[in-house]
A and B are shown apart, each in its own frame.
Chain A
Amino acid sequence: MPSDTVTTLADKTARATPLALARRVRALSDQAIAWLFITPTIVLLLAINIFPLLWTIYLSFTSYRANQPGRPIRWIGTRNYERLLGSEDIWGYMQVTASFVVWTMVIQVLIGLGLALLINRNFKGAGFWTTVILIPMMLSPAVVGTFWTYLYHPQIGIFSYIVNVFAAVGPLDMIGSVDLAMWSIIIVDTWMWTPYIMLLCLAGLRSIPPYLYEAAEIDRAGPLQQFWHITLPRVMPFLMLAVLFRGIENFKMFDMVVELTSGGPGSTTELASINLKREAFEKWRTGYSSAFAVILFVTVFGLANIYVKALNRVKQT
């Protein structure tokens, strides 16, 4: 066989493989080769996902402090959990987190779906405006948090200025006010992540065949009916998926809010993840914060599971 015809990558690889190795590999069964391929991934997953999770669960039953590595790890049973679940502060942080997640999701779904419906009308320049709307999503959350502190500045910030154009309320301290701080982070998260919801809704809208609307039009369905009977049911799985992703992200929201309010004023914007970081890496109560992390994990995991079940039911129809 003339060797100059050998050009494919497979051939090259075969030729480059030492003969001894090639013989050994050829002797393996298909199943052995399959294991050979997935083993690196499994090892990696065990090392960086499964082991830390199990180790965290173990630490949550101890009084371990990571800043005192020499001290023996002492088993204290469920004491961390008892303290956590009995603490009113923790419930407060959970409430702050819940209201942040719920409000951001409700507002972003409404605006995101609305924008998607607008963009889907395919007006002139729709592509350009889609890109413009997507820009915030491409920024780093920490950067967003930092520059919004300037936008929110009561004296020099443009936010306060614009609000005063419409209503003369005087210098508006969004971040510093107990009543407004929560809204300051909701607004920034909405500004940043509504495009994401819009993008997924748009994918859903684009998947609706136009003849469904034509059939509805001939059946004398009005625009509202068309939205209710065709658009919404067809977009729903996409919308729910977007909310699932964004909901989990916001449940563990950290970087943007740390830059913006650092959980203040008081603990009005102290999200669970922010408090967790304080306990773990400022107070170094590793065992206690591990227990908190486990509780958060179980909460998110449980909620997400219930949600995915609902999502599957919607998708089936």
Chain B
Amino acid sequence: MAEVDLAGVSKRFGDITAVADVSVRIGDAEFVVLLGPTGAGKTTTLRLVAGLEQPDAGSITIAGTDVTRLPPAARDVALVFQQYSLYPHYTVYENLAFPLKAPGRRLSKPEIDRRVRHIAEMLRIEAKLGNRATQLSGGEMQRVSIGRALVREPTIYLMDEPLSSLDAKLREDLRTELKRIQRDLGATILYVTHDQLEAMTMADRIGVLAAGRLVQTGPPRTVYEAPASIYAAQRLGSPQINLLPAGSLATDRPEPPGTATLGIRPEDVRLTGPMGGAGQERPDLPGRVLTVEHLGVETVVLVETAAGPVRALADAHGPVAEDQPVRVAARPGSVLFFAADGRRLAATPASAPAALEEMSDVA
């Protein structure tokens, strides 16, 4: 395992800038997740680290060696593709053993066998070792793909949305498993996804990508609580953060000058009955409940207000019903302030939890 360092890396395909001036350091045994929507340059960044693409500018260093111009084989990285890149005509065992049989590895047969069985056990596919790759289910195939990366003990594991083609249940299982394996092996992982849940649950650090640029890096909690911009705020959290025009909602802290948009996470929205606001010193935003979604763990209430729709997480056993008039307020200290260009503005320190504000780690 080793440190990987990207410094000012850019990559263009014709007129399209896929990756623009990305600098990020992935520490030893760190799990870094690159988060962004389709076309944000996540996969290209990964392929640049793997050596499948050559950067137009910048340098890539693995374990202190500049590998920018080296071919994939010389970098000793492992890559899990989004599609199951298994050799279809081979068995699971042969697929797992394949990377160990590469020229220049010189592993003994018993050693290869030991490693393959160890990984198969870890990924719970030991019963399938004799099966052909094409006889596996989607989840099994992807586990073999991950296994083929894991047997190698490379400098860094690169993973390109490895769970995106699996069903929800399996995705959840593999997510936990992957995090456990990473901790057990002390593996360095650069993981790419558009799924905020994967980013939140697995990452030591998240890097938010927007149109090829890294807009923010930091621990999931920091990015969630102190996003650098509206864009970063929208990447994490489900349901998404509520955005309301400045001044539409009374806040306990004064809006910093230049505020254009207020951001309130659904879990910070307080709904009160039509009379609930009585006696409060500030007027709440009045609205009407449009829909109530009971999701089991949580209940999402969509409220229509004069300032736009607001989503709130409500008590599952609460008395909220559709068409009911309600008042919308924010939990004290929870409102985020954004400027017209999307940047987040620091709240006036007087009443703000200061520590939180300082942690914003803008790249």
List residues of chain A with CB under 8 Å of any chain B CB.
209, 211-212, 214-215, 217-222, 225, 229-230, 233-234, 317
Contact = CB atoms under 8 A, between A and B. Distances in A.
B296 interface: no
Given A209-B83, A220-B99, A233 B72 contact: no
Given A220-B73, A229-B87, A317-B132, A215 B81 contact: yes
A278 to B, nearest CB: 47
B104 interface: yes
A75 to B, nearest CB: 54
Nearest to A212: B85
Nearest to B132: A317
Contacts, number: 58
Contacts of B152: 219
Contacts of B105: 220
Contacts of A229: 87, 90, 98
Closest A-B pairs by Cβ, 10 of them: A220-B102, A215-B85, A219-B99, A317-B89, A220-B73, A233-B89, A217-B72, A218-B72, A218-B79, A211-B85
19 contacts: A209-B83, A211-B81, A211-B83, A212-B87, A214-B79, A215-B85, A217-B71, A217-B72, A218-B52, A219-B148, A220-B72, A220-B73, A220-B104, A220-B105, A225-B102, A225-B103, A229-B87, A233-B87, A317-B132
Given A229-B98, A317-B132, 16 more contacts: A209-B83, A211-B83, A212-B87, A214-B52, A214-B72, A215-B85, A218-B50, A218-B73, A218-B77, A219-B99, A219-B152, A220-B102, A222-B103, A225-B102, A233-B89, A234-B89
A312 to B, nearest CB: 14
A225 B71 CA distance: 16
Contacts of A220: 72-73, 99, 102-105
A233 B102 CA distance: 18
Contacts of B89: 233-234, 317
A220 B73 CA distance: 5
Contacts of B134: 317
B33 interface: no
Greatest chain B CB density within 10 A among A219, A222, A225 is at: A219
B150 interface: no
Contacts of A221: 98, 102-103
Nearest to B50: A218
Contacts of B51: 218
Contacts of A317: 88-89, 132, 134
Contacts of B98: 219, 221, 229
Nearest to B83: A211
Contacts of B71: 217
Interface in B65-120: 71-73, 77-79, 81, 83, 85, 87-90, 98-99, 102-105
A219 B102 contact: yes
A33 B90 CA distance: 47
A225 B105 CA distance: 14
Contacts of B77: 218
Contacts of A233: 87, 89
A277 to B, nearest CB: 44
A218 B78 contact: yes
Contacts of A212: 85, 87
B87 A217 contact: no
A219 B74 CA distance: 10
Q: By DSSP majority rule, is chain A's interface helix, strand, loop, or mixed?
A: helix
Q: Which of A209, A211, A220, A233 has the most CB of B within 10 A?
A: A220
Interface of B: 50-52, 71-73, 77-79, 81, 83, 85, 87-90, 98-99, 102-105, 132, 134, 148, 152
Contact of B85 (A214, A222, A225): A214
B155 to A, nearest CB: 12
Contacts of A230: 87
A224 to B, nearest CB: 9
Contacts of B148: 215, 219
Contacts of B83: 209, 211
A107 to B, nearest CB: 26
Contacts of B99: 219-220
A209 B86 CA distance: 11
A225 B79 CA distance: 19
A311 to B, nearest CB: 14
Nearest to B148: A219
Contacts of B104: 220
Contacts of B85: 209, 211-212, 214-215
A186 to B, nearest CB: 32
A294 B92 CA distance: 47
Nearest to B151: A219
A190 to B, nearest CB: 29
A230 B78 CA distance: 19
A221 B71 CA distance: 12
Contacts of B88: 317
A215 B98 CA distance: 11
A155 to B, nearest CB: 53
A150 to B, nearest CB: 47
Nearest to B100: A219
Nearest to A222: B103
Contacts of A217: 52, 71-73
Contacts of B87: 212, 229-230, 233
A24 to B, nearest CB: 51
B148 to A, nearest CB: 7
Name the residue among A215, A217, A233 with the largest chain B CB count within 10 angstroms: A215
Contacts of A215: 79, 81, 85, 148
Nearest to B88: A317
B45 to A, nearest CB: 15
B146 to A, nearest CB: 12
Contacts of B103: 220-222, 225
Nearest to A215: B85
A225 B97 CA distance: 14
A285 B38 CA distance: 75
A233 B77 CA distance: 26
Give the one of A215, A218, A230, A317 with max B CB within 10 A.
A218
